[in-house]
Amino acid sequence: MADFRFNKHFCGTEECSRTTDKIRQKLKSSEMVYNMCVSYQCLFKSAKTNMGTKRFKNECLQVICALRNSNGGSLVIHTYGKPDMAWSLDGFDQLVNEDCSMVIEDDTLYTDNYERKWFEELHDDSVARLPYLVIIVEPSSSISTYDFKTKVALDGAKVRPTARQIATYLCGVAGKKRKTQAESEPKFEEGKITNIYESRNVQLKRLSNEDIEEKMRKRGSGPTPSASRDVPMAMDIVAECFVARSLPEYLTTFSKLPGGGSFYCGINERKDTSEEPKIKRKKTQSSPETQHIEGTKTGENIIAGIELTEQQKQDLEKKLQRIITKKTGWYKKVNDGKYEQLDDDSILGYIDIKFHPTENGHGQGTDMGQGKRKYVIQVSVNSMFNGMVFYTDDSYPAQLNRPIPLSFRFSDEKKEEIVDTIEWFNLIEKAATPLER
Ligand SMILES: [Zn+2]
């Protein structure tokens, strides 16, 4: 499975080849040395706004992960275009050090695992510093993971777990009860405030017919602004709207909760736009597709619904099932600490998809004519899953649609490879905190 390649962006100068070779010889001969080149400009930009910086950051972390899983080593980064006396590493530190800290699997310190410094060359009595950054990486005590491709829940949010959290969870999961959710069925009155609110097991998303048409226009497959509203909506695009709202990631968080959890589309957070808040609001990492309305949240969630015909409803259910089985991977813990991957039908055994027709307040459905009705759509994980669920997204283009943890290492042929998922499970369990039984 050596289908993973680091993109080194070698700057191509003879000077760089010569210097890198020289540095290689100075480092411990036994260890793995990996080199790459980056422009100095790139180092000081934000990975959120600059594509070059983002790519550099990802590659850098992938190499560091692979070095940790290959008994340690060094990464040498040539920074070309650097002003002579600019030796501050502030930009670089801010770019990678939190993520580097996150991939330490045990309780050892960051400073025990990494060291970064400019390469220094001794000339007689003086020391010459070269624009080559050397990062010394200590080996992992179990396995280092670049991206778990699974998230854990906060209340109303999802975050990256630590290796130790994953491992401790997996070690305890076999004995856990699969509690099924006993919830009272809420009413879905259109335009009314609902008592549903976000929590660890509830996520609410805005999705309207306008949002869907907007997405279809962008894809060039939908109605143009002047076209009539009767142009059929493509249900695969509607299903993609669920993915853009992070449905696969939330399913991974719900699968770890005793009663599972629910993702609702078609419920809007009401915002007060009459008065703009004076304080500059913190930028959220919301997906670019989510419609952003300025204003202060009022704390009220409004039932809106999505207009669908009976046929569209049936199609959408199938598309949602398909996208869930394609974009999530389920590995069940079975006897003797082994793991088995679920097939599509088994995955869907853990998933409920419900279409709640909206009502008009008198217990009657809001029929839009032509057999159309408005629905709030609920996608749930119906119980806890004794194992681990992964999602896939487009953040790692070399492995699209493979919902697996991304953990790298160098093979014996010094090629880079993704650690096999079943093997990864066995290695990650070693990072667990011993449980009291
Ligand atoms: Zn170079």
Q: Ligand 1 centroid vs 129 CA: distance in angstroms?
A: 16
Q: Ligand 1 centroid vs 146 CA: distance in angstroms?
A: 25
Work out the percent of the chain whose per-residue pLDDT is above 90.
59
Q: Ligand 1 centroid vs 22 CA: distance in angstroms?
A: 13
User: CB under 8 Å, gap of 24 or more: what pairs does 139-142 form?
Assistant: 139/68, 139/69, 139/70, 139/71, 139/72, 140/68, 140/69, 140/105, 141/105, 141/106, 141/108, 141/430, 141/431, 142/105, 142/106, 142/167, 142/427, 142/428, 142/430, 142/431
Per the model's pLDDT, the better-predicted residue between 248 and 5 turns out to be 248
**Beta-sheet pairing, 328-333 with 387-391:** antiparallel
Rounded average pLDDT over 337-343 = 94
Q: Ligand 1 centroid vs 114 CA: distance in angstroms?
A: 22
Q: Ligand 1 centroid vs 76 CA: distance in angstroms?
A: 10
The answer to whether residues 164 and 197 belong to one domain is: yes
The answer to whether residues 181 and 263 belong to one domain is: yes
Residue 313 has pLDDT above 50, yes or no: yes
- 399 found inside a domain: no
Q: Ligand 1 centroid vs 115 CA: distance in angstroms?
A: 21
Buried b (16+ CB within 10 A) or exposed e, 52-83: ebbebbbbbbbbbbbbbbbebbbbbbbbbebe
The answer to whether residues 164 and 249 belong to one domain is: yes
Instruction: Provide the phi-psi class of 403: left if phi over 0, else alpha when psi is between -120 and 50, else beta.
Output: beta
Residue 223 is part of which domain span?
Answer: 152-274+289-391
pLDDT value for 231: 52
pLDDT value for 286: 47
Average pLDDT value over all residues in the chain: 86
Q: Ligand 1 centroid vs 98 CA: distance in angstroms?
A: 26
- pLDDT confidence of 2, banded at 50, 70, 90? very low
Cα–Cα distance for residue pair 326/299, rounded to 1 Å: 35
The answer to whether residues 310 and 330 belong to one domain is: yes
- 281 found inside a domain: no
Q: Ligand 1 centroid vs 9 CA: distance in angstroms?
A: 8
Residue 154 has pLDDT above 60, yes or no: yes
The answer to whether residues 255 and 310 belong to one domain is: yes
- 231 found inside a domain: yes
Indicate the pTM of the whole model. Answer: 0.88
- pLDDT confidence of 3, banded at 50, 70, 90? very low
Lowest mean pLDDT among 228-242, 281-295, 316-330, 409-423: 281-295
The answer to whether residues 198 and 93 belong to one domain is: no
DSSP 18-55: HHHHHHHHHS-TTSEEEEEEEEHHHHTS-TTT-HHHHH
Q: Ligand 1 centroid vs 13 CA: distance in angstroms?
A: 6
The answer to whether residues 45 and 14 belong to one domain is: yes
Residue 308 has pLDDT above 50, yes or no: yes
Model confidence pLDDT, tens digit, residues 63-103: 999 999 999 999 999 999 999 999 999 989 999 999 999 88
pLDDT value for 369: 66
The answer to whether residues 128 and 164 belong to one domain is: no
Cα–Cα distance for residue pair 106/101, rounded to 1 Å: 11
Q: Ligand 1 centroid vs 393 CA: distance in angstroms?
A: 31
The answer to whether residues 293 and 369 belong to one domain is: yes
In angstroms, how far is CA 155 from the centroid of its own chain?
17
In angstroms, how far is CA 52 from the centroid of its own chain?
20
- 336 found inside a domain: yes
The answer to whether residues 187 and 319 belong to one domain is: yes
- 396 found inside a domain: no
The answer to whether residues 55 and 128 belong to one domain is: yes
Cβ-based neighbours of 163, under 8 Å, separated by 6 or more: 103, 104, 105, 142, 143, 144, 145, 148, 428, 431
- 284 found inside a domain: no
Rounded average pLDDT over 356-370 = 70
The answer to whether residues 115 and 189 belong to one domain is: no
pLDDT value for 396: 86
CB burial class (10 A; 0-12, 13-18, 19+) of residue 140?
A: buried
E strand or H helix that includes residue 165: helix 163-173
Per the model's pLDDT, the better-predicted residue between 324 and 30 turns out to be 324
Q: Ligand 1 centroid vs 80 CA: distance in angstroms?
A: 6
Instruction: Write the single-letter amino acid at 29.
Output: S
Q: Ligand 1 centroid vs 38 CA: distance in angstroms?
A: 7
Model confidence pLDDT, tens digit, residues 42-66: 887 777 888 889 989 998 999 999 9
The SS3 of residue 317 is helix
Residue 109 has pLDDT above 60, yes or no: yes
Total domains, the chain? 2
Q: Ligand 1 centroid vs 206 CA: distance in angstroms?
A: 47
